[in-house]
Amino acid sequence: MTKAVKVRFAPSPTGLLHVGNIRTALVNWLFCRQMGGSFLLRLDDTDVVRSTQAFAEAIERDLTWLGLDWDATARQSDRIERYNQVVEKLKTGGRLYPCYETGLELDLKRKIQLGQGKPPVYDRAGLKLTDAEVAAYEKQGRKAHWRFKLNLPARVEWNDLVKGPLSFDLAALSDPILIRENGSFLYTLPSVVDDIDFGISHIMRGEDHAANSAVQTQLFEALGAAVPHFAHFSLLTGAGGEGLSKRLGTASIQSYRDEGGLEAMSINSLLARLGSSEAIEPMMSLKPLISGFDFAKYSRSTAKFDPKDLETLNAKILHQTDFSVVADRLGDVDEILWNICRGNINKLSDMKALKAIVKGPLVPLIEDQAFTAQAADLLPVAPWGETTWKSWTGSVREATGAKGRSLFMPLRQAITGMDHGPEMGLLLPLINPEIVRARLQGKTA
């Protein structure tokens, strides 16, 4: 019987989610929903110093805004007793051993190895310690850190769902540290234990974790568990190929939403297909991204992230958005004004300036006061309709001789304060005629 699909997104609540985090979450979520599986939100909060409830709430808020719902939640801080049980099992089985080197001593060992042209792999000195040596270290006040003993020689291979066949020689890797000197856990042990206990079937993450996955396969096996399927996606770089590590620190999803004013689907549309052979298109919902998800369409090449692509997608999405979708975010903008203006906005906040054209107040933009004053005298009587702009500008053309841009631009600038915008034939009937007259006369109205 095929194992049910269960995936996890496991952020640390030590900061805000950025585009790299969300790409991982989105890939997991799309695959999971396509397969009818279960999506676990796991907060890796064993870092008690940096983890905060505020960041945990921000993670949930960002995922909810993006439409990435989850079926269950877990916190590693609730499972410390379980991890300690596993630690005792690994110690008893001879797979976890204490080491007493300081950070400086380990760094010196690595430098010596590199100087000799050798790979900087831990020499397993901790396995050779005598009871007397251990007692001496303890008397000095040193605390042990604990390493997982890899079974060597060993070559770990798997068919990665993105990268294809991958192979790692574990002899080229150090025995990983699972427990720090202060007794706190590093990422590896809690993660593997959780993946086992929660029945995770697929682990999908960045390619920088591929070597970690190779090491973790032995930890799964040491604990008597089947190894999940792996998928390692290419990392993101900037548009020019530069690293994103620093930029990602500020490119949080919260900043794109609250300060950047972007729509959730612009982010989903880009990140779901970044690094994929599929064209990046403005999607109005997650449904087509779910149905079209395919590991085979993801490239092994580095994916390039450009915030400008988000802005382009955002504009295209808003141009297609029905009034009902955004009505509660538009205040007193009605459906008529929305339908006239939506094709001219890049962000929803742009509607504020367009609303001012109709509601006021607005400072007119006038270079030739005599021209606009003459145009004001030629305004037709109310009520106005869709033909008013055409008939009025025709009268102004006959009276002044102005035509083309010299005719239309001064009138648009005086009435709207802009040199671009919605079609004037549709916009003009929405504005009070007295407001139009006042603006043409150079008054703020």
Q: Which helix (H) or strand (E) holds 213?
A: helix 210-222
Q: What is the pLDDT of residues 305-319, one digit of tens each?
A: 999 999 999 999 999
pLDDT at 265 over 80: yes
User: Which CATH topology does 335-440 take?
Assistant: Arc Repressor Mutant, subunit A (1.10.10)
Residues 137-156 have pLDDT tens digits of: 999 999 999 999 999 999 99
> Tokens at residue 221, please?
């096996």
CB 380 within 8 A of CB 392: yes
Enumerate residues 6+ apart whose C-beta is below 8 A from 359. Answer: 332
8-40 pLDDT, tens digit per residue, is 999 999 999 999 899 999 999 999 999 999 999
Mean predicted lDDT score pLDDT of the chain: 94
For residue 26, the model assigns a pLDDT of 97
The pLDDT value recorded for residue 2 is 52
Question: Any alpha helices (H) in 292-431, and if so which ranges?
Answer: 307-319, 323-326, 335-341, 351-359, 369-377, 388-400, 405-416, 424-427
Within the chain, which residue ranges are assigned CATH 3.90.800.10? 82-179
Please tell us whether the domain made up of 82-179 is placed in CATH 3.90.800.10: yes
Residue 246's pLDDT band, with cuts at 50, 70 and 90, is: very low
CATH number, domain 6-74+187-237, options 3.40.50.620, 3.30.56.10, 3.10.105.10, 2.10.10.90: 3.40.50.620
pLDDT of residue 244: 63
Contact 266, 313 (CB under 8 A): yes
Check residue 245 and give its pLDDT.
54
How big is the CA angle at 314 (ends 313 and 316), to the nearest 5 degrees? 65
Residue found by looking up tokens 């089985």 in the block: 93
Kindly report, as residue ranges, where domains of CATH 3.40.50.620 are found in the chain. 6-74+187-237
Per-residue pLDDT of 85-126, as tens digits, reads 999 999 999 999 999 999 999 999 999 999 999 999 999 999
CA angle 308, 309, 313 (to 5 degrees): 120
- Picking from 350, 253, 278, 269, the residue whose alpha carbon sits closest to that of residue 312 is 269
Superfamily of structural domain 239-323: Glutamyl-trna Synthetase; Domain 2 (1.10.1160.10)
